Amino acid sequence: MLVSSEVIKQSGVAFGTSGARGLVESLSENVCAAFTVNFINAMRTSFDFNEVAIAIDNRPSSRMMAQACSQALLQLNIKVMYFGVIPTPALAYSAMLDGIPAIMVTGSHIPFDRNGLKFYRPDGEISKQDEANILNANVEFEPLEMLCDLDVSQVAETRYIKRYTSLFNSKILSGKRIGIYEHSSAGRDLYSKIFTELGAEVIALGRSDEFVPIDTEAVSAEDKKRALEWVYEYQLDVLFSTDGDGDRPLVSDEQGEWLRGDILGLLCAKALNISTLAVPINCNSAIDLSGAFAHVTRTKIGSPYVIEAFNNPHTGDARTDLASCIKGSVNLAGFEANGGFLLGSSVQYNGELLSALPTRDALLPALVVLVETILQKSALSSLVKGLPSCYTASDRLQNVLPMISKKLLIEAESNPVAFLDMLGVEVRQGIVVKTNTLDGLRMHFNNGECLHIRPSGNAPELRCYVESNSKQLAQNLLLTAMAGLEKRLLN
């Protein structure tokens, strides 16, 4: 017999900002089984169930991991409902409808040599407390000597498609040309069905037989070039894509300009008449400046923190009593800088009830904002121009160990002005008017600009976020900071 906590500890696999992540070689059959039995142990303290839903992304290692999780569930006499390759929110939505837990095998946007497991309670994403319970439980289980076959059910895909097509009683997208950058996204076959059913002309682009780890917060130069070329060549109104597991959107306007995820989220939240909002600290200040929301709470980065803020007034900076707002508000949501939109309550939209889905969803913000361009008879770029002039940019340095990132943060926190000077960011004494260490180090300057660095919770990466009052100034600040950080780390 194996002891689950010992297997997990020896593997080195740990929870990141959303889900357990690690090297593929560390996510062996027995490690997947250990996480699974501990997850079930944690869920059984609060829920009764005899079935668990499982789905995967297109990473080569994902199917084996799903088989290992399924084999562990069979040891516990739990039935497996396997949905194959579908977006994470489609799995979560179907599991919530059935009132059962779910496991998504995905590494999302992290590098190719890694993968992960995301866990869902019958009522949505697991909490940070659930994560601790999963890591620390001591459950004995038989080593896996064989892996079960998996038959794919179409139920989750069908439900997810209906969730959005049922909101409209007409071909609402008729006349729109939508490009879908498919790459290896888990939803690449599903999205075209939804947009086509709603009347759009869909052009499939960039399908890949190999897994492509798209990061919606660090769009590559190649993907920026693709957007410009495809929008021009195919005369697209919108170019839509997602990360690997379909919970973070990547949307380009009719000019081939990729929207920042938090700008897409802001437009969506306004269109849904959201009144109470929870967003991570690195989201665009235009959210507050827009005046569109009665209450906004800022949290640490990661969907579990956004979800925690839905119910806990002491999450984030705690300056807004969010929980008390919820009691009198039916329109509650959150989104992240990566664009993933979390619908915290059911809302009325287009005369229909759109049920809550408190997990990141890539399709909802893209669809709602696209419909908004039709209702307002406006191009997507014009909707963006109607927001307060506040621009963000972000990038990452890969292969930076967490201990190196933490050492750098200590240096920066001890003397922010000297640190900025070392990076090559032009500073003068007193330019840093405020710092925030809620998640990494966020430095606010007296000219309204902001620089934020933090270690990624999902991979050995150092993240950098900037904010300025023009797109060019934001890009200049980012390039300067990234060059300085890279030089500092090389030394």
Q: Are 268 and 349 in contact (CB under 8 A)?
A: no
Q: What is the dihedral of CA 398, 402, 405, 407, to 10 degrees?
A: -150
Q: Could you tell me which residue, 234 or 320, shows the higher pLDDT?
A: 234
Identify whether 376 is part of a domain. yes
Please check the confidence at residue 314 and state whether its pLDDT lies above 70. Answer: no
pLDDT of residue 318: 36
Identify whether 310 is part of a domain. yes
pLDDT of residue 109: 76
Separation CA 269–CA 278 (nearest Å): 11
Q: Are 358 and 125 in contact (CB under 8 A)?
A: yes
Does 345 lie in the same domain as 327?
yes
At residue 458 the predicted structure's pLDDT band, cuts being 50, 70 and 90, is confident
Least confident of 14-28, 327-341, 432-446, 452-466: 327-341
Q: Closest by alpha carbon to 358, among 295, 306, 321, 312?
A: 306
Please check the confidence at residue 328 and state whether its pLDDT lies above 60. Answer: no
Identify whether 215 is part of a domain. yes
pLDDT of residue 212: 85
Domain boundary residue among 154, 177, 212? 154
Does 111 lie in the same domain as 67?
yes
Q: Closest by alpha carbon to 156, among 233, 86, 72, 252?
A: 86
Pull the structure tokens for residue 401.
């160990």
Overall average pLDDT of the 28-53 stretch: 97
Pull the structure tokens for residue 48.
């009764």
> Which residue intervals of 198-339 are DSSP H helices?
221-234, 261-271, 286-289, 303-311, 322-327
Give DSSP secondary structure letters for 258-285.
BPPHHHHHHHHHHHTT--EEEEETTS-T
Separation CA 398–CA 111 (nearest Å): 9
Q: Are 56 and 84 in contact (CB under 8 A)?
A: yes
CB atoms within 10 A of CB 170: 8
Identify whether 159 is part of a domain. no
Please check the confidence at residue 205 and state whether its pLDDT lies above 70. Answer: yes
Q: Is 59 helix (H, G, I), strand (E, B) or coil?
A: coil
Has 108 been annotated as catalytic?
yes
**Residue 3 neighbours by CB under 8 Å, 6+ apart:** 138, 139, 140
Q: What percentage of the chain exceeds 70 in pLDDT?
A: 95
Identify whether 414 is part of a domain. yes
Domain boundary residue among 154, 179, 210? 154
Which member of 108, 345, 456, 468 is catalytic? 108
Overall average pLDDT of the 165-184 stretch: 95
Does 62 lie in the same domain as 126?
yes
At residue 217 the predicted structure's pLDDT band, cuts being 50, 70 and 90, is confident
At residue 430 the predicted structure's pLDDT band, cuts being 50, 70 and 90, is low
Domain boundary residue among 154, 176, 194? 154
pLDDT of residue 128: 87
**Distance from chain centroid for Cα 473:** 26
Percent of residues in the chain assigned helix, strand, coil, to nearest 5 = 40, 25, 40
Q: Could you tell me which residue, 324 or 234, shows the higher pLDDT?
A: 234
Does 351 lie in the same domain as 403?
no
Q: Residue 470 maps to which CATH number?
A: 3.30.310.50
Does 260 lie in the same domain as 371?
yes
Rg over alpha carbons for the chain, rounded to the nearest Å, is 22
* Helix (H), strand (E) at residue 335: strand 332-335
Does 173 lie in the same domain as 113?
no
pLDDT of residue 215: 86
Least confident of 200-209, 244-253, 424-433: 424-433
Domain total of the chain: 3
pTM of the prediction?
A: 0.91
At residue 428 the predicted structure's pLDDT band, cuts being 50, 70 and 90, is low
Rounded mean pLDDT of the chain?
92
Does 372 lie in the same domain as 298?
yes
* Residues counted in the chain: 491
CB atoms within 10 A of CB 469: 14
Identify whether 75 is part of a domain. yes
Q: Residue 80 maps to which CATH number?
A: 3.40.120.10
Q: Closest by alpha carbon to 1, among 140, 136, 138?
A: 140
Does 348 lie in the same domain as 204?
yes
Identify whether 161 is part of a domain. no
Does 92 lie in the same domain as 64?
yes
pLDDT of residue 72: 97
Does 147 lie in the same domain as 10?
yes
At residue 312 the predicted structure's pLDDT band, cuts being 50, 70 and 90, is low
Does 370 lie in the same domain as 420?
no
Q: Is 291 helix (H, G, I), strand (E, B) or coil?
A: coil
At residue 168 the predicted structure's pLDDT band, cuts being 50, 70 and 90, is very high
**Residue 6, Ramachandran bin (φ over 0: left; ψ between -120 and 50: alpha; else beta):** alpha
Name the residue range of residue 406's domain. Answer: 391-490
pLDDT of residue 457: 81
pLDDT of residue 319: 35
Overall average pLDDT of the 450-479 stretch: 92
Does 405 lie in the same domain as 339?
no
Q: Are 219 and 250 in contact (CB under 8 A)?
A: yes
Q: Could you tell me which residue, 213 or 420, shows the higher pLDDT?
A: 420
Identify whether 318 is part of a domain. yes
